[in-house]
Amino acid sequence: MPTSRREFLAQSSFGVLAAAASPLAAQQPDHPSSSPAPATPSTASPAGQPPAFGTAPAVGPPVTPATFAEAEKLVQFEMSSNDRALAASNWRMQMAPLYELRVGPRKLALEPTLAPATLWNPLLPGIQKLPSANEFVRSTNSSDPLPAAEEQIAFAPVTHLSRWIEARQLTSERLTNIYLSRLERFNPRLRCVITLTREHALEQARRADSEIAAGHYRGPLHGIPWGAKDLLDTAGIPTTYGAEPYRDRVPRTDAAVVQRLNEAGAVLVAKLSLGALALNDIWFGGQTMNPWLLEEGSSGSSAGPGSATAAGLVGFAIGSETGGSIVSPSMRCGVTGLRPTFGRVARTGAMTLCWSLDKLGPMTRCVEDTMLILNAISGPDTGDLGSVPSQLAFHAGADVAGLRIGYFPAWMKEAPATEVDRTALETVRRLGMVPVEVSLPDWPYDSLDLILFAEAAAAFEELTLSHQVDQLKSQVPDAWPNIFRQSRFLSAVDFVQSDRLRRKVAIEMERIFSSVDLLLVPSLRDEMLVISNFTGHPSLTFRAGFVEISEARSDWAPDPNHPLPKFSPPRRVPYGVTLIGRLFDEGTIAQAGMALEKAFKVARENPPGF
């Protein structure tokens, strides 16, 4: 029997999978149910005998029926006393050898870039990918003159900045210096910057100005300063994942998205913060704060992109999402976040959290900006097996009248929906779009997170086994270190069942989209955050109004020992709504989003003090 809690946990990890594997054990002959005897591999087999389960040399620590009795509590799977005895009888010959990849003797290191053999394809068989052809029409030249105040220039959307640069009213070097100055000035309050790339940025800006002066204008991102969530590799520039074990990591090559933005002429001014290993908003430099309310975090994990974009410290930013990391900081910081369809934007050179869930997308100050950036970063790359060719159809002046907007009536009447969500639904009607009631089955959608936890724990297995994960600043129960360790005890059988549920949910979403063009949902509705991330549908989150709050918000589970600040009188903060689109149909949600954004008339207000 184990002599310590640590030894018990080590032994019981083998017991978890046994619960699911017991039917195989039960099929083995010559093991009376009353008193099973340990299986012994045969030393000599007759010619032509096939291999059999349970005949490997015994390995691993001893297990007993009591081991299985305790393990049952972890996987919520009950066995009879006879079942436990049978499972224990040959566990070391039948199941324990399966861990050889990790425990040896023939250990095999898996490269961080090695993806699983199974790929998630969001498109169901027989479903035609939309749209069928490329079409990209941006808005006509803005008549807005170049402001005299640098603050107003800094907060201008890319749609305006690009026109001023194209017309040579504004140089990239001047704009870059404006943002570099603001990053240095405001970062101590926001903690949104991990690495400022001053010299690199000025070199890129001067090159952009030279090219534009020579008549070589690359397009709307040429000369525009931007910030990268610090999980995108940048050659010769630290890429830290916001985590202590990686703070000195310097990649040799650029991520595919960085390379495409370089080709578009964009100027990288900063590597922006993220919650360590892409969770929430705390990194090794502290907590990134919300410019609208400095007493609360920015949310995450695209914390720096949300905070810096809201504060006018960059022209735009690139964030990432696995389960809400673009939606949530966009909502809290009052910016616009586009989470593209899974597979549209190649993730080569980006930190892997979950192979079947990670997505990269733009965070901006207006809806059209997201499309200018998506147009530049879309496309597959051989380094990302999940990336696929796709078309992008967007017309900034498209008529949205007649678009069918699905909504869930019950969701609009209860938290987390607010009056802003209900007003948005009325605005849909006023603009000539057609609200359509839709519904989803009452299924256990959070069971899908078993996939997220298992993939994340696999991606950072070595960090966990080496105990380097213990260096992370956040060591609370809902932080990655604990989740990675707990995930070792998840059932492999339940992983497969969750994956099957994922396909079933995708079929339901296809049913819904057979009758609507897009969905309007409360941004932080848990069911839709989970569903749409696992199915891979695109989303657009953008400011729709303001609400008043009496307590700071947090991504973390409530901690009675660390209560959140309370406010009296309440504080006014931005609030966004979210549109969910059909697969690869980002153009439609952007067109509807532009119409709603214009009607809401709240996008141009900036956080006080910045």
For 171-195, what is each residue's pLDDT tens digit? Answer: 999 999 999 999 999 999 999 999 9
pLDDT above 50: residue 425 = yes
- On the question of pLDDT at 250 being above 90, the answer is yes
* Per-residue model confidence (pLDDT) at position 10: 38
Of 9-13, 83-87, 459-463, 533-537, the poorest mean pLDDT is in: 9-13
Q: Which residues pair with 581 in a beta bridge?
A: 518
pLDDT band, residue 94 (cuts 50/70/90): very high
Asked if 502 and 534 count as a contact pair (C-beta separation under 8 A), the reply is: yes
Q: Is 390 among the residues known to form the active site?
A: no
Helix-strand-coil split of the chain, %, nearest 5: 40, 15, 45
Q: Binning pLDDT at 50, 70 and 90, where does residue 15 land? A: very low
Q: What percentage of the chain has pLDDT greater than the value 70?
A: 93
Given 22, 273, 301, 532, the catalytic residue: 301
| pLDDT, average across residues 131-153 | 91
Judged against a pLDDT cut of 90, whether residue 472 lies above it is answered with: yes
**pLDDT by residue (tens digit) across 277-323?**
999 999 999 999 999 999 999 999 999 999 999 999 999 999 999 99
* Contact call for residues 54 and 94 (beta carbons, < 8 A): yes
Q: How confident is the model at residue 26 (pLDDT cuts 50, 70, 90)?
A: very low
pLDDT for the residue numbered 130: 84
Establish whether 229 is a catalytic residue: yes
Among 408, 371, 402, which Cα is nearest to 508's? Answer: 408
Listed by start position, the domains of the chain span: 5-38+55-103, 151-444+487-547+567-600
E strand residue ranges, 347-407: 359-364, 393-395, 404-407
pLDDT, one tens digit per residue, over 217-232 is 999 999 999 999 999 9
Q: What is the DSSP string of 393-437?
A: EEETT---TT-EEEE-HHHHHSTT--HHHHHHHHHHHHTT-EEEE
- Minimum mean pLDDT range among 33-37, 336-340, 538-542: 33-37
For residue 141, name the pLDDT band (cuts at 50, 70, 90): confident
What's domain 151-444+487-547+567-600's architecture?
A: Alpha-Beta Complex (3.90)
pTM for this prediction: 0.91
pLDDT score recorded for residue 40: 52
The one catalytic residue among 229, 298, 320, 356: 229
Is 508 a residue whose pLDDT tops 50? yes
Catalytic site residue from 325, 474, 491, 532? 325
* 301 catalytic residue (yes or no): yes
| 49 CB neighbour count, 10 Å cutoff | 9
**Residue 129's pLDDT band (boundaries 50, 70, 90)?**
confident
Identify the pLDDT of residue 33: 42
Compute the distance between CA of residue 473 and CA of residue 244 in angstroms, rounded to an integer: 8
- DSSP line for 90-125: HHHHHTGGGGHHHHSSS--PPPTT---S-----SPT
Distance CA 393, CA 107 (A): 48
Q: For the residues 477-492, what does the mean pLDDT come to? A: 97
| pLDDT value of position 44 | 76
